């Protein structure tokens, strides 16, 4: 459920018009990195518990980041960029990798 909630939040925040966006003082690439790292972490935690394929799910999250980045071109006042896509993708991979590693370490006897 947490993964689905994160994905819905990412959709809303990615496609909201620029006029209604409230930004933090952090650079936008850091915001993207953190949002996707958290989503990747929740996703892998849920998938690891269910025994599903983590690599494919992480690749799908990176593709989802690319899709939302492209869709921003059609949102008023928003622009897409490779820098934010890379930050999102790297965040998804790192968040997923940290939780996958932690789950494997905890599962060992």
pLDDT of residue 50: 57
53 is a domain residue:
yes
71 is a domain residue:
yes
46 is a domain residue:
yes
In three state form, how does the secondary structure of the chain look? CHHHHHHHHHHHHHHCCHHHCCCCCCCHHHHHHHHHHHHHHHHHHHHHHHCCCHHHHHHHHHHHHHHHHHHHHHCCCCCCCHHHHHHHHHHHHHHHHHHHHHHHHHHCC
**pTM, two decimal places:** 0.87
22 is a domain residue:
no
pLDDT tens-digit map of 55-68: 888 999 999 999 99
Only one residue has tokens 């849920």, namely 46
Domain count, the chain: 1
pLDDT tens-digit map of 62-109: 999 999 999 999 988 888 899 999 999 999 999 999 998 888 787 776
Q: What domain range includes position 92?
A: 2-17+27-107
10 is a domain residue:
yes
């Amino acid at each position: 459920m947490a993964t689905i909630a994160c994905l819905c939040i990412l959709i809303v925040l990615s496609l909201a018009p620029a006029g209604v966006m409230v930004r933090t003082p952090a650079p936008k690439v850091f915001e993207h990195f953190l949002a996707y790292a958290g989503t990747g972490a929740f996703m892998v935690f849920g998938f690891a518990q269910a025994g599903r394929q983590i690599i494919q799910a992480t690749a799908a999250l990176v593709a989802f980041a690319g899709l939302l980045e492209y869709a921003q071109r059609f949102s008023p006042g928003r622009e897409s960029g490779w820098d934010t896509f890379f930050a999102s993708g790297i965040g998804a991979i790192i968040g997923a990798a940290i939780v996958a590693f932690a789950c494997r370490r905890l599962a060992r006897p």
